[in-house]
Amino acid sequence: MSLLVVGSVAFDAVETPFGKREKMLGGSATHFSLSAGFFSDVRVVGVVGGDFGAEEYSVFERHGIDTTDLEQIEDGRTFFWQGRYDFDLNTAHTLDTQLNVFADFQPKLSDAAQQSRLVFLGNIQPDLQLEVRARVRGAELVALDTMNYWISTVPDAVWNVVRAVDVVIINDAEARQLAGEPNLIKAARKILAAGPRALVIKRGEYGAALFTSNSYFAIPAYPLESVFDPTGAGDTFAGGLMGYLASQDSLDEATMRRAMIFGSVMASFNVEEFGTERVQRLTHDEINERFSTFKRMTHFEEIPFERAIRATP
Q: What is the CATH number of the domain that holds 93?
A: 3.40.1190.20
Q: Do 233 and 270 touch, CB atoms closer than 8 A?
A: yes
Count Cβ neighbours within 10 Å for each residue of 145-159 and write b for 16 or more, e otherwise: bbbeebbeeeeebbb
Given this model, what pLDDT does residue 205 score?
84
Q: Tell me, what's the pLDDT at 53?
A: 96
b/e 32-56 (16+ beta carbons within 10 angstroms → b):
bbbbbbbbbbbbbbbbbbebbeeeb
Query: What is the full per-residue pLDDT of the chain (313 aa) written as tens digits?
Result: 599 999 999 999 999 999 999 999 999 999 999 999 999 999 999 999 999 999 999 999 999 999 999 999 999 999 999 999 998 887 888 999 999 999 999 999 999 999 999 999 999 999 999 999 999 999 999 999 999 999 999 999 999 999 999 999 999 999 999 999 999 999 999 999 999 999 999 998 889 999 999 999 999 999 888 888 999 999 999 999 999 999 999 999 999 999 999 999 999 999 999 999 999 999 999 999 999 999 888 877 776 766 655 655 5
How many other CB atoms are found less than 10 A from the CB of residue 28?
27
- Cα–Cα distance measured from residue 69 to residue 52, given in angstroms and rounded to the nearest whole number: 15
pTM, 2 dp? 0.94
Neighbour-count burial of 165, counting CB atoms closer than 10 A to its CB (0-12 exposed, 13-18 middle, 19+ buried): buried
What is residue 213's DSSP assignment?
S
The predicted structure's pLDDT at residue 35:
98
Give CA–CA dist 148/52, Å, rounded: 28
Instruction: Give the model's pLDDT for residue 313.
Output: 56
**Domain span including residue 293:** 2-311
The identity of residue 141, as a single letter, is: L
Domains identified in the chain, total number: 1
Return the closest-CA partner of residue 232 out of 268, 285, 208: 268
Please answer whether residues 3 and 248 qualify as being in contact, where contact means their C-beta atoms are separated by less than 8 angstroms.
no
